[in-house]
Structure 1
């Protein structure tokens, strides 16, 4: 488990709060303190919508509004209020601007659907139109509106958006015990979600709360004087955070209730305390502890250690008793990149052992593997940002910033993060079918999982990753009495791309399998303008992804282009969209570079000690130097306000100095502090504006 960037309370994205407290540079700097380096422009566009809420199973598309079309115009071609557009005898008027750039809802005085279809074809052929489509009438889908849901890539990875249309966990009450470090009961994600829990830590020194066992499972932090992990809150948030209420993040099961059970303290937790907690969670009497009024249908255990279950039989005994009471137990496989058979509780039987995947649906590099793995689930990888959303690819969930005292949301990685995805899914299944047993749950999860081949498993055999990545919608469909339909969908990592003429880019196309679909898929690209070539490597695969390589000639005309990636297999054909902008990057001239003297206590800049430079060089890269700085730690970043409106918004460029993808503090005198500015777009721009507000 690793922590990267915090998403702070009161909806503030706090990039600075995760800065490296040790900084860099000479601990005894000279008197004339400087920071110097190179700055450039990155032509890759940041994703405007992050693509998280997209469904692979849509409602019927046959119904649409006659006369209405959604049209994306090329820059400068959109209709002004009161203006009309003539198309083969029809006059199209503006209904309203849509949130998408240069995109409008237009309407013609047409009530006939066939005439609307003909009008659509006319508009598609116009040179000033990027795309046009019917204004379909769709049925409601259960995509949550939580503030940070767009960063939770891990839910679409297991097809949860489609599953929520079948079951949100509200049909029948399900109780999930989270046996971990405790809970943050005041966190916004847990309002109305908690049932009475218990603190099973016997040793007051380990408990860090002034006493031993009691009925208060609040997590006081597991690092006295430092930053606590709040691991239990993070895990509980993944299982069942308050969802669809517009605040924070989403949980897998919207309707489940959490019984927080505290067993891990400053030094971890003992087997004796943990095994007691397992039994109590299942509704079994534990001496000296009040009865659990809410026995758990599901128990999550994102904990463990080395050893074999056969060598510690009390674990298996406790699991057998808890299972006999009806509890379904889900455990993490471990993060040692080793055989899960050598770890407890992962090697025990009668439980569901879960390994971790990352954004490509590959086994995460740390995840344990082997014959004891039942299924895989998203666990993240905080060393990479493969999905291009500007953040490391960890699992986002609830925590707290001990420095400020604010509740927040952080990115962690680990099988600890994978296990609660499955526990939440089992809660959804149990809500849909209250009679669900452990054996049935395990069987359904395995039968409907998407297999990982040897490449994706990153082992000699895909069998080391169990049955594969869990598929939430297929699992729920299987409980409905019918067999899930084999199918697949495509998604593109960072589908918004900007290229300069003569430039190139590589994109990952993800192949999301469901319902047992295991066939090879062949890829093709359409919509490429003259001067742009695209190729796939591999061009056909039975795996989970391919790479789309785009190459622009120097004569490629500037503009916006919509490319369509198509995957075909037998009679199935599925598409994904790439939005390409061809434009030479602007000059750095006018870019403001900031050496922000960072005040950790206020999570902000000290204006009196910070410095701002304005670049005058008319180029795409330039050297810079801050001179005569005060001794301290700095965040170095740059901003080009392309429209000169004083606001960070779409079309601007922004960048921070980072190390290993993480914003870090720099101590003068430091050189080679090189970084690039990236294009800001849509949701990313609004998030970064909140970041910049910290620096004023």
Structure 2
């Protein structure tokens, strides 16, 4: 069974639900009108709307996607955090909890408000001139859960030619330190004897930590399912990387010599983004307020966790700070059988994103895919037994059996299990060449990987091309052979370092059009000019950098997509070089089908929702239908009662009377914010955008959805 990811992707539907839950309204007798222009959006997908950077949706049903009352705020340059230890926003007192490690001028804050109050607080914070950005303290979760404990052969090691790799390097030449940022560790498990270095527990909430306290220097995993079988997810991940090997006991780890620094950030229900990012920064040796320094900074970090949504600016800054220190970050792509560009931290820049394969070296049925995948590694499929050994084809690694309180081993499946295979192989590579950089490691893994055919990449999911599985399945032996004898290359010249990230890091562009992204450079004592280049662009796609050589903190890239460009998903690489250093970032590009007929507004319903506090008043709300094959038209509501209205529009493209992927949806906004408007108004123009995220679209306010559906009948 796979763990569900918390969905933090903000979509317009969710923003509408927030407004209905958070805003008040009233009514009075009278009549007036609304009018304006409704048009099809110029963007190819709902997720590209600027509005999506501002409002926030309610948590998905059945779970909490952020900590009520906790927000992370980054202030504009030049502002001292000492001067903003307490704030007052819309009558709410907000207190600073601690600075956020690795993110300059950013802190975690806390207020005594519920979920709706947190969203309202964020709206107020984002309107302040001294705030660069503000976001909730999201909750991320582990990406796999256990099935049945067992002791069997680890088929997943021969799948990546690991036995042949051990003939070259066992990981003992120059032992490497690997941080596992996860649920903690079973320190007394026999297969971790002599494998562990001091770690830390970064979980601040004792209820999440289920260990009776907050942060401390004990990363022991007490189990993340109080009263039930714990997952011991972190131990399973750590075991794949570095379980004691050649000791006549249990299972083998990929690296015989690596040492694990366990970082506990996930407990009951997952973990908060602030705790996870603190743990990630500490793992690389960055100082954390109130926490002793890490005596063993990790060279490799494994994060088998995440959530759905764009890469958080806080997360990106932490990863930039970590990689600037030379650490290599390996992350799981996610288990939703969807485009990895929709999931974080898999879609962050500067990390190695890993998809999962099954026993037959096909993409596992749950594994995310797409151009953001860098490489694939075994993740297993516990529903199958293709090797006929009577055991499920999962990845075997250490856990504990809570029913009898014994240490054991279990088969898990997930990209959580794939990522530590890559982290372990990189540990072998760095043992052979200690100065190996993350860029070099990824390049070697990709150059020596075995590409998956379109059939193998498709697996049991939607049709894919081979590019949707990255460079393919890693080959540990080939990567070590390509590394050579391990002689270190000449050290880079002095002069600091820099990192590169993209905003956004995924685009959807129609043939015959163009789109622009921003390149962000974080410089650490680095003053050299950087030369920019683009590779991996398909035929018909060209890019223009402005400027082509950059000496400050940002540049732009405009992608021009010719009308002849072939539809599909592509992974483009942006390279910045200067001062003897090179950094890359991956851009996921989707080219729409040039032959697809652009839809019209015909059949679109426009709703003037008379707001009552949690629903649209069925008497005073109005719906009109657009009955014309145009892409832009005027609309008009007449004889409205005085009061406050929310304006929405929906086109049920497949006419199934349900709001889902492929429909078109829009809400009237002002300055990027959802607003309630009062008649008379004649300037209420807005657009509808294509909904591509089915799961997110289904979280639109049920009351508003039912109103639309009644009207569509």
Scaled by the length of structure 2, the TM-score of the pair is 0.47
